[in-house]
Amino acid sequence: MSLSFSASRRLGAFAYEAALEANEEIVVLFGHSGAGKSITLQMIAGLLRPDSGRIAIDGVPAFDSANRIDLPPQRRNVGYVVQDLALFPHMTVAENVAFGLPRSSLQRSRVAGLLDLLQLKELERRRPPSLSGGQQQRVALARALARDTRLLLLDEPFSALDESLRAGLRRELLRLRQELGLTILFVTHDLREAHLLADRLAVFDAGHILQFEDRETVFRKPLSRRVAELTGVANIFAANTIATSPDAVAVEVNGLGLNCALPSSPPSPGRAVDIAIRSERVNLRRGRTSESEENLLEARIVEEFAYGATHTLRLEPAGPGPAIEVEIAARPYEVLGVARQRNWLVELPREHLHVMPGNQPSGPPIA
Amino acid sequence: MNRPAVIERGAMTTVIALTLVFGLFFVLPFAGLVERAIEDGNTFDLWRTEQVRDALFLSFWTSTLSVALAILFGTPVAYVLARSRFRGKALIDALVDLPIVLPPTVAGVALLTAFGRRGLIGQPLDNWTGLTLGFSTTAVVMAQTLVSAPFYVRAAKGGIEAIDPQLERVAYTLGASRVRTFFRVVAPQARPSLIAGIILSWSRAMGELGATLIFAGNLQGKTQTMPLAIIQAFEGSSLGLSGAVALSLILLIVALVALVIFRALAGRAAPPI
């Protein structure tokens, strides 16, 4: 099952224009609410008509403004699951799952198969309002898969659930993709969820896709300051390029010299750039091992947040250099004795210092 | 300090007292009716007169037909009003409600000016086909539909509005047509509201007097429904007040029995949610 999508639409002051494709993988559409993620799914499902564009499912055009093709949602055969699930409350679990199937002798066995697949066998005569959130979720998935659908559109399906339930359902989804060879478009604004599920990640902002690449690239090498902000990079510094060598870019941040990993298109000396490093990639050290070590600065912990599994520290530099946020797991936090020591040597490893084009507007603040 | 408890008890006493007074106000008129009917003793003789049988029969089937028309034409209107947004929707909403707030006599005059022999539509219709609508059984149904259908549309619209539109959108992606989605997803969930609307509009049609009197007249066997027969009896036919009492009681009993039976049937067919 493959999907190719490109569409544009004006909605009042909001201009939407995006293109992506997916092929037997999970593509996560990530961004704030109102960024255009849900609209994308609605256009693919046939519930919202683009002004122009082309949508093809397995090579068959479902929408093509140039050739005046616009299949109704009934004929697109995509599974669409929304945040509040939209289960039919007056029907049993089995009736919900069978809703999309034509009445036939096959219907019974198909429903039974789906109930087995999603472990709903014991619940088939119950009605949705009497089920738990996780059970309802599985009913919605079974119903969406009933018509032998290979393309699933999931619009924040887990966001109404407890964290403990979500973990199980994410595993379930990964299993289904594996067993059924599904193509899944998954909308979320939850970074952890996006990272866990995504084969590829499309970062949405204000109706456009800022970056659409495999998960690791988006998280480690954001294309722009805005992508870095959206994907939760805590440390983004404005910097000036000093020199470019075959194995590094030397920059200066608040009077501190740093060597960064070489990007695919290195900036020329004098150019303004933005430098990004994720807070979990920063090292805390007690002292230098040699004078030739690079990318070190002395800093003092000024703020600290304990999240249980991790601690987030904010450090102010003693000399030149930027303020730094560091995330450290609970165990190393204890072993290092961070609670008792406030002054540290902060190391920004060169391979994790990512150079982006500079002087870009940053978006609205990230909540 | 047990003052809050005292206040609680005082509030409770007030609520009970108000309920009792209000309840009495509603029960006493019916008690009076029953007492008078028993005293007179000819209620059940009247049941057998042709005039009463005609009026009761006419009331029953015209009201039922009016409700059927309200369902047929009113359900799509209710759906559109519940689901779509367009310029001037507030105006349409107000127009649908208009017959509810207007005195039925105004509705009767309005019908006469539109469909009467000299009316806007009535005159050309009379000239071309020789058909007259006024003072016929058709006029009775028209008058009842006009004043009772808004109650059904109102209730149906409210019921449909309460259903999450996402259910319909998801049903479309599951291959269900709009019509199938309405009958399998929307209607079953709106059922309590639809039933309430049917009961309201049927009751309103059964009680219709003003519009019918003006537009359809008071012709026994043709346009004389029960409320018209009661008025006639009251205003000094051979039957007199005791006749009006008897007719009122008969109408009351028949309507009550019909509603109880309908509710039981509709309730049994509904799935437990």
Tens-place pLDDT, residues A23-34: 999 999 999 988
Indicate the residue of A80, A88, A127 with minimum beta-carbon distance to B173: A80
Q: In the structure encoding, which two tokens stand for residue A109, read together? A: 């066995």
Contacts of A72 in chain B (CB under 8 A): 172
Which chain B residues are within 8 Å of A73, Cβ to Cβ?
169, 172-173
CA A329, CA A313: separation in Å to the nearest integer?
11
Spatial CA neighbour of A52 closest among A76, A71, A40, A68: A68
- Burial environment of residue B145 by CB neighbours within 10 A (0 to 12, 13 to 18, 19 or more): buried
Q: Do B173 and A143 touch (CB under 8 A)?
A: no
- B162 touching A, CB under 8 A? no
Q: Which chain A residue has its CA at the smallest distance from B167's CA?
A: A86
Give per-residue pLDDT as tens, A344-354.
Answer: 999 999 999 99
Task: Supply the DSSP symbol for A146.
Answer: T
Determine the average pLDDT of the residues in A206-228: 95
Does residue B170 belong to the interface with chain A, where contact is any CB pair within 8 Å?
A: yes
User: Would you give the distance in Å from CA B79 to the centre of its chain?
Assistant: 20
- Concatenate the DSSP letters of all residues of A273-320 into one string: EEEEE-GGG-EEESS-S-TT--SEEEEEEEEEEE-SSEEEEEEEESSS
Q: Which of B166, B174, B189 sits opposite A99 (nearest CB)?
A: B174
A46/B164 CB distance under 8 A: no
CB distance B169–A80 less than 8 Å?
yes
Sequence-distant (6+) residues with CB within 8 A of B114 are: B120, B121, B122
Mean pLDDT of chain A: 92
Question: Distance between CA A27 and CA A197 in Å, rounded?
Answer: 8
The first and second tokens of residue A52, run together, are 């122009």
How far apart, in whole angstroms, are the C-alpha atoms of residue B124 and residue A223?
75
Residue of chain A whose alpha carbon sits nearest to that of B180? A99
Chain A residues within 8 A of B171 when measuring between CB atoms: 88, 99
What's the whole-number mean pLDDT along residues A210-218?
A: 96
The fold adopted by the segment(s) B51-266 is: MetI-like fold (1.10.3720)
Could you give the percent of chain A with pLDDT greater than 90? 76
Whether B172 and chain A come into contact, CB under 8 Å, resolves to yes
The encoded tokens of residue B249 equal 């009681």
Q: How far apart are CA B132 and CA B30, in angstroms?
A: 40
Closest by CA position to A161, among listed A86, A97, A82, A83: A83
Could you state, in order of their start, the residue ranges of all structural domains in chain B? 1-40, 51-266
Mean pLDDT of A147-168: 85
Residues contacting residue B12 through CB under 8 Å, at least 6 positions apart: none
Q: Look at residue A252 and tell me whether its pLDDT is greater than 70.
A: yes
Phi, psi of A67 (to 5 degrees): -105, 15
Q: What is the pTM of this model?
A: 0.85
Confidence check: pLDDT of A5 > 60: yes
Higher pLDDT, B265 or A231: A231
Per-residue tokens: B183 = 């009958």
Is the pLDDT reported for residue A284 higher than 90? yes
Q: Which of A82, A129, A147 sits opposite B175 (nearest CB)?
A: A147
- Candidate from B164, B171, B172 with C-beta closest to A84: B164
* Residue of chain B with shortest Cα separation from A48: B169
Q: With beta carbons less than 8 A apart as the criterion, state whether B273 and A129 touch.
A: yes
Q: For residue B1, give the 3-state DSSP assignment.
A: coil
B138 Cβ under 8 Å from any chain A Cβ? no
Tokens at B167, concatenated: 């259910």
- Cβ contact (<8 Å) for A99 and B273? no
The distance of A45 to chain B (nearest Cα, Å) reads 7
Nearest C-alpha neighbor of A21 from the set A219, A191, A216, A185 = A185
Strand runs labelled E in chain B: none
Residues 6+ apart with CB under 8 A from B172: A46, A47, A72, A73, A74, B178, B181
Q: What are A292-337's pLDDT values in tens digits?
A: 789 999 999 999 999 999 999 999 999 999 999 999 999 999 999 9
Pairing of strands A343-347, A256-260: unpaired
Return the pLDDT at B271: 47
Q: Which amino acid is at A268?
A: S
Q: What is the mean pLDDT of residues A215-228?
A: 94
Residues 175-214 of B with CB under 8 A from A: 175-177, 184-185, 188-189
**Contact call for A82 and B166, based on CB within 8 A:** yes
The reported pLDDT for the residue numbered A366 is: 54
Measured from the Cβ of residue A162, the count of other Cβ atoms closer than 10 Å reads 10
Residue from A345, A7, A348, A18 nearest A206 by CA: A18
Distance between CA atoms of B187 and B181, rounded to whole angstroms? Answer: 9
Contact between B174 and A72 using a beta-carbon 8 Å cutoff: no
Q: Are the CB atoms for A159 and A188 separated by under 8 Å? A: yes
* B174 touching A (Cβ < 8 Å): yes
| Contact (CB<8Å) B175/A146 | no
Nearest CA in chain B to A149: B174
What distance in Å separates the CA atoms of residue B40 and residue B129, rounded to the nearest whole number?
50
What does pLDDT average to in each consecutive run of 10 residues of chain B (273 residues)?
Answer: 74 94 93 84 75 91 96 96 90 90 92 89 85 87 95 95 95 95 95 92 93 91 91 74 82 87 74 44
The number of beta carbons lying within 10 Å of the beta carbon of residue A201 is: 25
ipTM: 0.86
Mutation target vs A (from B83, B163, B166, B170; most A CBs, 10 A cutoff): B170
A74 contacts on B by Cβ (under 8 Å): 172-173, 175-177
B173 and A88: CB-CB below 8 Å? no
Q: At CB < 8 Å, which residues of chain A contact B?
A: 45-47, 72-82, 84, 86, 88-90, 99-100, 127, 129, 143-144, 146-147
Cβ atoms of residues A80 and A45 within 8 Å: yes
- Kindly state the greatest CA–CA separation across chain A: 79
Q: Give B172's contacts in chain A (Cβ within 8 Å).
A: 46-47, 72-74
Q: How far is B191 from chain A (nearest CA, A)?
A: 11
Neighbours of A266 (CB within 10 A): 18
Which chain A residues are within 8 Å of B162, Cβ to Cβ?
A: none
